[in-house]
Structure 1
């Protein structure tokens, strides 16, 4: 890796009556004098329209992209630096990740060159060590199972078996199930001894499979004797989960034999608490290649999660190949200094692109299906649609002012226009191509964060509002989403969306699933209005939230900070009145990509909170135990 010729460092200091001041210093580490340049960086802490910059001029800002010009005639000699300050920020930074996420210079000859950078410094404060987020943990029963089962009565053995293997005469279906979990284990723990073999092995123990028609969907029973293990199930999901539990038991007994043992006698009877046990991943802001997606799905299966919510489009990029509109990925999946989509979080001097072609999607869906994980795709509309709007200009009302409104993230005019009829033709073709790719019951259409005042400066929308007697943005969105719901229903799909789908009159409750993200009270309101819900409040289940107040802890802060113990202890069901609980389908973790510019940050923020949510999704409240969880989760896989 080469050393950059330039480095940008930033610090923040509080200023009474405002969100504080940024101080930027650009160092010239090259052997040549620098002049005639501009500096660009991306940051979640944005500079407001009304700001005061000393020593520089803000040329342009689009969402998180900022570009500055130095004072006219400025030169920076080798070893020299240029410093400037900015007051007038849109929010006050709380953590090191609130600062620069990428930077580059545009030189006088038009070339773009990389600039190295560091985390945001808090003026006068040493960053210090990151806090320890997990206690050592302790167990009262020496078995490594996560999520913890509904019922367990076991006697431990002094020595774990060498391996487990299917009994003679096992069906091809059951042998294939063993092979699936064996392959899963080898992908997650490639350096470990395998938990299963397909033939008898000395020192091993056989698994005998038994049909159990009396147990519920996805449930399983394990009965341990000195000679064999009997696995009882009634469906493929229960078979998979029972085998994963056996692999987990053996994994713990091998990795920490001082704490964990394998059972010699006893019973496990287990079943999931909720039918929707989900994890969302935003691939628009940060792109994850297919191997990463498949590994995350492996981790979901290991934790007995069964929904992968794939957030495929947003303002920052459109990541799904649509053959009818190749522009969506030719333009909308690429960001860079000279591209239609400017650099955003983590993009620098070189353009970056990435999308999933339809063969990629088929592979991911097949991989997930093998592990009983349903892939629910999200096309985020009508808001968060900058990438689509910039790729297909036919979607725009040409008479609307180009900066008539801005999203909370700073994007101008980023919502599909309900009065542009091509919008529905476009989405119809998108849905038609998605249908054979995604066999899921639902297609998630977003519906969140449409800016207040959207479309009100559009002549086409003013005409639509008059014709349909619609008042304001919320009712325009409701009109749009009712049409989208009908389009999905015609194609045999149900609509899922974020909680704002209910605004302005919402959509028909039948066949609609809404995700309550803003706060728990929203879920109660939605259930009271007759919507089926999934609880995913940012205050507990958003895995981009920082885990401690410490400045050095990475992550966002709009929903406060969420240490793993808080995530683990949170009980979404406890917020709901008893009469509304049947409306709650389950819970979901959300991984939003703004702060995940490195694998280290991803693993720091997502784990162990993702397994904590998995346990809440599977295990009844009274069966949870924080210290037991802390002891087990240390052995669990990360990305």
Structure 2
């Protein structure tokens, strides 16, 4: 990678007496004078329509994409800096990553050159650094297992065996399970020795597997002795989880032998707390190649998370091949200069994006199934559809005024239109292909953050509202999602959605309609009271893009406050559910939104160990959780 020729630095100015502003400084390091140029950058502190500038001319904004020109006759010599400021922004910066995330300069000959960007700094005071967010912790037993089992009674610890070896009489199916977990462990932590083996070896310890149909399908039991470990399991999933638990214990005892040991007597009896133990991943804001998604599925399995909520579409990109609508991945999956969509959130002038072919998705589904991870697809409708509309503008009402509403993320007119027949043909085709592609019984339809002004100036939408006697955007959305639900049910699937699916009268609750409560914890209880099944994923605890500390130098978002690892770990989803509604609470889920996750390093900082903490919340009963013990173990866990 060549050394950047330009650097863009930003400073936040907020003295409380007047509107906050952002100062920007573009330094020319190209070796030549810079003149007749344009600066483009992406950032979440978006300019409002009435933005004010000093020493620059505002050209345009599209969501997070901004363009500014210098004033006439500005020449920036090599080594010099052009400075300007912006007032009237959509947010008030709180953290270092709230400034420009990427940018480029367009030279007078039309050439585009990427600029390097630094952290957003703050004027008037030193910014603080969070430091270590994880304490040293304290073990209750000298073994390493996350999530912690629900009954642990082990003793007489020793160094680990060389490897755990399948006993004589192990069935072919059981050997396949051992091989799958051995390969999983090797992929995730290749630097550590083998944990499991199909044949005997000197120094190995016998591993006897016993099927017991009385146990629940995900349950397992371990019995330890000096010469043998016995794993009893209820079904394939329980066998998988028991082998993963043993692999965790072997890893801990070999990676940190002064801290962790391997038991030679006692037992573990274990089964999960919730049936839904999931993690969402937004691959629209940032595209993750197939090898990264495969490793993410591995990490879920290693943490005994059994649901992968795959957020495959949003304003920034459509990521799944649909054969009936090829432009979704031709025009709706890529951004940059010369494309239908400009750069967003970390992208520059070069083509950025990508999508997953149906064959790639099939391979990832098979990979997940082998590890007891079900993949639920999400296609976010009717809002968050900028990428869809970039590919198929005919899904707009041509008589609706342009830019008559903007989503909370700043996208103009980003909802597909319920008053256009073509919309329902699109839904029918897409849902048929997705239903055929994904074996999961759930299809998540999004349904979130539709602006309350959506469709109100669309004659086609107004016609539907008048015919159906609907009042306002929310009731029209509910009407539309009800039709989508019928389409999905014809395919034998169940609708999943964000909590706003309940707005405007909601949709049919029968048959297991599953809503994900994200806006605040109380929403989950409200949904359950309305008769919906619920997965808890509140932004205040389980959104892993949230900053982990309020200090300036932490990364992440802040709309839901901050969520330290300890806060995420100790949050109790079931806390407000009365006994008669607890059956509606199906489980818990992490949400990984990617606006801030522009590098793998930032991803790992934001996601871990909070993802591991949510895994323990989904598996381990409240009375068996222990924050100091978790803190003492979590550093051993693999990252992306």
- Shorter-normalised TM-score: what interval? over 0.9
Q: For 1:20-169, what aligned pairs fall within 5 Å after superposition?
A: 20-127=20-127, 129-169=129-169
Partner of 1:425: 425
1:79-134 deviations in Å (ceiling 9; x for gaps): 22211111111110000010110010112222211111101111144445441011
- Which is worse superposed, 345-354 or 400-409? 345-354
State the SS of the aligned residue for 1:547. coil
| Separation (CA, whole Å) in 2 of partners of 1:113 and 1:160 | 55
| Separation (CA, whole Å) in 2 of partners of 1:51 and 1:592 | 28
| Separation (CA, whole Å) in 2 of partners of 1:341 and 1:18 | 35
Partner of 1:397: 397
- Which is worse superposed, 43-52 or 236-245? 43-52
CA contact (8 A) 2:294 2:364 kept: yes
Q: For 1:460-609, what aligned pairs fall within 5 Å after superposition?
A: 460-510=460-510, 511-609=512-610
Partner of 1:444: 444
| Separation (CA, whole Å) in 2 of partners of 1:542 and 1:572 | 14
Relative to structure 1, the CA distance from residue 630 to residue 19 in structure 2 (aligned partners, 3 Å threshold; closer, same or farther) is farther
* TM-score normalized by the length of structure 2: 0.99
CA contact (8 A) 2:286 2:353 kept: no
Question: 1:617 offset after TM fit, Å?
Answer: 0.2
- Which is worse superposed, 485-494 or 190-199? 190-199
CA contact (8 A) 1:19 1:90 kept: no
| Separation (CA, whole Å) in 1 of partners of 2:160 and 2:353 | 48
| Separation (CA, whole Å) in 2 of partners of 1:240 and 1:127 | 47
Structural RMSD (CA): 1.0
Partner of 2:353: 353
| Separation (CA, whole Å) in 2 of partners of 1:585 and 1:615 | 15
CA contact (8 A) 2:32 2:78 kept: yes
Question: 1:161 offset after TM fit, Å?
Answer: 0.7
Question: 1:31 offset after TM fit, Å?
Answer: 2.1
1:195-220 deviations in Å (ceiling 9; x for gaps): 01110111111111112122112000
| Separation (CA, whole Å) in 2 of partners of 1:440 and 1:526 | 23
1:344-371 deviations in Å (ceiling 9; x for gaps): 0011121212110111101111111110
- Correspondence 1:621 to 2:622: yes
CA contact (8 A) 1:15 1:21 kept: no
Partner of 1:367: 367
State the SS of the aligned residue for 2:501. helix
| Separation (CA, whole Å) in 2 of partners of 1:464 and 1:404 | 19
State the SS of the aligned residue for 1:250. helix
Relative to structure 1, the CA distance from residue 566 to residue 18 in structure 2 (aligned partners, 3 Å threshold; closer, same or farther) is farther
| Separation (CA, whole Å) in 2 of partners of 1:28 and 1:156 | 66
1:163-194 deviations in Å (ceiling 9; x for gaps): 00110111001011000000000000111101
Question: 1:227 offset after TM fit, Å?
Answer: 2.2
- Correspondence 1:178 to 2:178: yes
CA contact (8 A) 2:534 2:587 kept: yes
- Which is worse superposed, 134-143 or 497-506? 134-143
* TM-score normalized by the length of structure 1: 0.99
CA contact (8 A) 1:455 1:473 kept: yes
State the SS of the aligned residue for 2:314. coil
| Separation (CA, whole Å) in 2 of partners of 1:270 and 1:616 | 14
CA contact (8 A) 1:19 1:92 kept: no
Question: 1:589 offset after TM fit, Å?
Answer: 0.1
Question: 1:19 offset after TM fit, Å?
Answer: 5.1
| Separation (CA, whole Å) in 2 of partners of 1:77 and 1:194 | 59
- Which is worse superposed, 221-230 or 58-67? 221-230
Relative to structure 1, the CA distance from residue 469 to residue 196 in structure 2 (aligned partners, 3 Å threshold; closer, same or farther) is same
1:513-548 deviations in Å (ceiling 9; x for gaps): 000000011111100000000000000000000001
Partner of 1:610: 611
1:612-633 deviations in Å (ceiling 9; x for gaps): 0000000000100111101111
1:565-584 deviations in Å (ceiling 9; x for gaps): 00000001012122211100
Structure 1 residues without counterparts, runs of 5 or longer: none
| Separation (CA, whole Å) in 2 of partners of 1:16 and 1:190 | 53
Partner of 1:337: 337
| Separation (CA, whole Å) in 1 of partners of 2:303 and 2:255 | 18
1:374-417 deviations in Å (ceiling 9; x for gaps): 00000000000000011002211100011111000000000111
1:287-332 deviations in Å (ceiling 9; x for gaps): 0001110111111111000000000000000011111111101100
| Separation (CA, whole Å) in 2 of partners of 1:18 and 1:63 | 25
- Which is worse superposed, 139-148 or 285-294? 139-148
Partner of 1:189: 189
CA contact (8 A) 1:382 1:447 kept: yes
Partner of 1:246: 246
| Separation (CA, whole Å) in 2 of partners of 1:424 and 1:166 | 55
Partner of 1:376: 376
Relative to structure 1, the CA distance from residue 573 to residue 17 in structure 2 (aligned partners, 3 Å threshold; closer, same or farther) is farther
Question: 1:157 offset after TM fit, Å?
Answer: 2.7
| Separation (CA, whole Å) in 1 of partners of 2:143 and 2:114 | 51
1:552-606 deviations in Å (ceiling 9; x for gaps): 0000000001100000000010121222111000000000000001111111110
CA contact (8 A) 1:284 1:319 kept: yes
Question: 1:68 offset after TM fit, Å?
Answer: 0.5
